Chains A and B, each alone.
Chain A
Amino acid sequence: MLNQLDRAFQALGDPTRRALVERLAAGPASVSELAAPLPMSLPAVMLHLKMLEQSGLVISEKKGRVRTCRVDPAMLSLAEKWINERRLMWERNLDRLGDFLNSEGEEK
């Protein structure tokens, strides 16, 4: 399970792939629709999509000549969501702790 999660986080470590997932979170899109606004070749976009599929974040389906992609919330099992919520909770807590430490001044 963690390997899958690691792959998901790894996949999101790239700005192009984040842009793709963000676009797909708004609704399904074809590969060419996804590629159109991006300043790169179609094969480069397909490579990014392949990584996203391997990470389990995105699923795709080919109908005729068109491949349609969508995000796959189903990959997030309850346990995965739980551990991610814990992780996100810590990230948020530590963001606030950093702000708090800054606001405290340097007395100690």
Chain B
Amino acid sequence: MSARSVVHASFTITRVWPHSPAKVFQAFADQEKKKKWFGGGGQAWTEISRSFDFREGGRETAVVKWEESGVVTDFDCVYRDIVENERIVYSYVMRLDGKKISVSQACIQIAADGSGTKLTVTEYGDFLDGYEDNGSREHGTNWLMDVLVKSLDT
């Protein structure tokens, strides 16, 4: 697939937790803490390289090889706006096997909610040029099942 194309999309996810905004913010700001939950997703992977510089203008990168598919994903992010305990905005480029597939912006909003915290994640992305469609039908069904399992769990 070589045709040039861009598809724009965005989504918002909200969660409420019985923890303080400061604690939720630290889970994003502290590399060791963020490692415990960000990325991964249950599939086996090997870290190729990683960097973490949490400040405005700072960069976070993660290059990871997924064992099952052999695909290498490259997450390259720059923090654009950080307000302690309130807001984090970053933009990032995602590459699959070296090919740039998307340019995105994510906005993490952290707000007190009663004695807990309401977290709102909004992500906007430009999906570039598509990518190889290997096994997309099967993939589509897997996705569907993921969505189902997810919605059954909640």
Contact = CB atoms under 8 A, between A and B. Distances in A.
Contacts of A1: 7, 9
Given A71-B144, A93-B37, A81 B125 contact: no
Interface in B110-154: 119, 121, 123, 125, 127, 130-131, 133, 136-141, 143-148, 150-152
17 contacts: A1-B7, A2-B9, A22-B145, A73-B137, A82-B9, A82-B125, A83-B11, A83-B125, A83-B127, A87-B123, A88-B147, A90-B13, A93-B38, A97-B15, A100-B36, A100-B37, A101-B24
Nearest to A104: B23
A18 to B, nearest CB: 6
Contacts of A89: 39, 41
A25 B40 CA distance: 26
Interface of A: 1-2, 5, 9, 12-13, 18, 21-22, 25, 57, 71, 73-79, 81-94, 96-101, 104, 106, 108
Contacts, number: 122
B141 A25 contact: yes
Given A83-B125, A90-B123, A94-B119, A71 B141 contact: yes
Main secondary structure of the interface of A (DSSP, over half): helix
A52 to B, nearest CB: 11
B50 interface: no
Given A25-B148, A73-B136, A90-B121, A81 B26 contact: no
Contact of A94 (B7, B15, B33): B15
B11 A86 contact: yes
A70 B8 CA distance: 29
Nearest to A82: B127
A25 B145 contact: yes
A3 B108 CA distance: 23
Query: Which interface residue of B42, B133, B151 has the most chain A CB atoms within 10 A?
Result: B151
A106 B22 CA distance: 11
Interface in B17-49: 17, 19-20, 22-24, 26-27, 33, 36-42
